[in-house]
Amino acid sequence: MSNNVQDAAYLKSREARAIGQNQPPKDSISSDAQRLASQNEGATNSSTPKGPSDPVAQSAADRAANFEKEAENIVTKMATNPQAVTQEDADLAHSREQRAFGHTSKGGVAAQAQSLASENMKNPSATQSAADRVSNFDQTADNITEKLAKAPETITKEDGDLAHSREQRAFGATHKGGLASQTQSQAAANEGQN
């Protein structure tokens, strides 16, 4: 098995892992890479010599290698830290895929990177790490919990809104009986007394 075929198989496994499917779509990057590897394998075995002396073949090989390297980096980033995928990542993936294959594939690495980058641009809070969001919630929880224990009459609607926002961002939801719920309830009671 040549390095190109091995690289195509590796790319397929990385893409499958990134998109959460055993088999990437037929028009995906890895499918194109496998098709090109097979074509290159056939060209290597044919009677027409192609190699480093053929500038077109070398250039196409370089473009494919550049794409494969970038695809691996972006697939890893999408799998491990999707909120960090930027428009620059998507543009680079698109450029490398376009140059390597003459087109981009629906559902391929460039398309997935573009989708994530667009989502991240719409939702700037997604770029804040999960650890930071939980840390912000913990800090707010400490302050409000102390206020609830020592001076519940000082709890305001703003405290309730802050607790709700931080809990929502940290955990994706607020919980019945949780900090936001308790704070909003106390704020409502305080407003009713005024």
The tens digit of pLDDT for each residue in 46-87 reads 444 444 555 555 588 888 888 888 888 888 888 877 778 888
Mean pLDDT of 85-93: 88
Question: How far is the C-alpha of 112 from the C-alpha of 18, rounded, in Å?
Answer: 9
**pTM, to two decimals:** 0.40
Instruction: Considering only residues 21 and 187, tell me which one the structure prediction assigns the higher pLDDT.
Output: 187
| Residue 108: band (very low, low, confident or very high) from pLDDT cuts 50, 70, 90 | confident
pLDDT for position 149: 93
Q: Average pLDDT in the 10-25 region?
A: 68
CA distance 49 to 133: 58
Within the chain, how many helices (H) and strands (E) appear?
8, 0
pLDDT digits (tens, 9 = 90+) for 115-158: 888 887 877 655 567 777 788 888 999 999 999 999 999 999 99
What confidence score (pLDDT) does residue 154 get?
A: 94
State the pLDDT at residue 159.
92
Q: Read off the pLDDT band of 44 (50, 70, 90).
A: low
Residue 110 has pLDDT above 70, yes or no: yes
CB atoms closer than 10 angstroms to residue 112: 22
Give me the pLDDT at residue 47, please: 46
The predicted structure's pLDDT at residue 86: 86
Euclidean distance between CA atoms 107 and 95, whole angstroms:
15
Predicted pLDDT of residue 143: 93
Give yes or no for a contact between 183 and 144, defined as CB atoms under 8 angstroms apart. Answer: yes
Over residues 149-194, the pLDDT tens digits come to 999 999 999 999 999 988 888 777 888 888 899 999 999 999 887 6
- How large is the average pLDDT for residues 16-34? 69
CB 37 within 8 A of CB 43: no
CA angle 146, 151, 152 (to 5 degrees): 90
